[in-house]
Amino acid sequence: MSARKRTSLRKVHGTQGSASHADLLFASTPEDTSAQKETDAPSERADTPSRDEADLHVQATLATFAHDGPCPLTGPARLTPIPALGDIAQTLLLAGRILLESGAEISRVEETVTRMGIAIGVDAVNVFSTLTGCFVTLVVGGDTLTRLLTVKRRGIDLGRIARVNDLSRTLEVGELDFEALRQALLDVLRQRPHYPDWMRLLARGLSSGAFAMLVGGTWRDFVPAVLAGLFASLVHDYVARFGPEFVAIFFSSMTATMWAVVATDVQFAEHLRTVVVGMMMPLLPGMAFTNAIRDAIAGDLLSGVSRATDATLSAAAIAGGVYAVFLWSQSNLWI
């Protein structure tokens, strides 16, 4: 298209708001008309598409934008027809549950659930989330639905958080339908940890040994610290099946400290302090403290205080388990 024709398109678009896309494509000025008379008319008509072909081209372009993602002409990609409100609420709460159980910060949970609801086609989504539950209110037309989900189990799984985020982005660009989204979320919920149990136990043990070396231990303290980390992990995973997290941390730190005391008494370990400190480091709630600060900065004060309290209880459980063993053994702690 020539420069004069592009100028004519801008003129027509500014003065005729109701003109169709095909009209814009065929708009021309008097200068264009006079120029066409001086050229070969049959050749010009042969190179110019018909109005029907232009309409088909515009419709195909709009359909491509609607499939690929948000477009200024069609708006954000939405699912059509919109599923039942109850099914939408259950799916959004499932996403929130996975994020909360995996240790995501509250702002991420609320933003992800809101984006998913808007992408599905809900007019308005209101989300309120805490460490132990998630409220979702959906509005479609004149209908409103509110649902609540309680969360009993919490941990750390960054892989599951990443997968839910990927599903949210894929849904927003229109590359995922509702049934596929729900099935994918169920698969994420049921999936086993990415790394096998033996590998995670070995990593905890080796990290305990490495921390023992960092705080001044010798190679004689490395192996006892590795074993102490293994004992702590085994006891923690077992007790966590039946009781709260801080109870599992208390018994795991107590068991590992007992092993450290015995190893030192029989001259298997050289320094009791380094073995105990190395065992404690993998149990410290560092991510919980970090997320508590992030929630508080984001304005989620209730969740920030709750998460900080939970982290403080975990730290107190570690200290309580160590102190109980030291009282029992009546050892001089730091010699």
Domain span at residue 297 reads 197-329
C-alpha–C-alpha distance, residues 170 and 177, integer Å: 10
Same domain for 321 and 206, yes or no, is: yes
The set of residues, in sequence order, having a beta carbon less than 8 Å from that of 309 and lying 6+ positions away, is none
Same domain for 25 and 110, yes or no, is: no
DSSP 199-233: HHHHHHHHHHHHHHHHTT--HHHHHHHHHHHHHHH
Same domain for 209 and 185, yes or no, is: no
C-alpha–C-alpha distance, residues 236 and 197, integer Å: 13
Calculate helix-pair angle for 85-101, 178-190, nearest 10 degrees: 30
| Cα angle: 297, vertex 295, 88; to 5 degrees | 130
**pTM score > 0.85 for this model?**
no
Q: Is the pLDDT of residue 253 over 50?
A: yes
Give Dmax over CA atoms of the chain in angstroms: 109
C-alpha–C-alpha distance, residues 327 and 320, integer Å: 10
- Residue that finishes a domain, picked among 138, 173, 190: 190
Same domain for 60 and 179, yes or no, is: no
Same domain for 218 and 301, yes or no, is: yes
C-alpha–C-alpha distance, residues 235 and 317, integer Å: 14
Question: Phi and psi for 303 in degrees, rounded to 5?
Answer: -70, -35
Place of tokens 């460490």: 131
Same domain for 130 and 149, yes or no, is: yes
Confidence of residue 155 (pLDDT cuts 50, 70, 90): confident
Go through the chain and tell me how many residues it has.
335
Same domain for 207 and 320, yes or no, is: yes
pLDDT tens, residue by residue, 262-280: 898 888 988 888 999 998 8
Among candidates 141, 137, 29, which has minimal Cα distance to 92?
A: 137
Residue type, 281: M
Residue 334 placed within a domain: no
- State the average pLDDT over residues 171-181: 89
Residue 76 placed within a domain: no
* Structure token pair of residue 48: 């110019």
Among candidates 54, 44, 58, 65, which has minimal Cα distance to 2?
A: 44
Same domain for 202 and 284, yes or no, is: yes
Same domain for 203 and 185, yes or no, is: no
- Residue that finishes a domain, picked among 164, 190, 216: 190
Residue 286 placed within a domain: yes
Q: Is the pLDDT of residue 8 over 90?
A: no
pLDDT at 52: 54
Residue 58 placed within a domain: yes
Same domain for 181 and 245, yes or no, is: no
Number of structural domains (the chain) is 3
pLDDT tens, residue by residue, 45-74: 444 445 555 454 444 443 433 333 333 333
Phi-psi region of 223 (alpha: psi -120 to 50; beta: other; left: phi over 0): alpha
For residue 147, give the 3-state DSSP assignment.
strand
Same domain for 182 and 205, yes or no, is: no
Residue 74 placed within a domain: no
Same domain for 140 and 125, yes or no, is: yes
Q: Is the pLDDT of residue 13 over 80?
A: no
- For residue 81, whether the previous peptide bond is cis, meaning omega lies within 30 degrees of 0, is yes
Between these two residues, 145 and 155, which has the higher pLDDT value?
Answer: 145
Residue 278 placed within a domain: yes
- Residue that finishes a domain, picked among 190, 207, 226: 190
Residue 79 placed within a domain: no
pLDDT at 15: 39
C-alpha–C-alpha distance, residues 85 and 174, integer Å: 19
Residue 73 placed within a domain: no
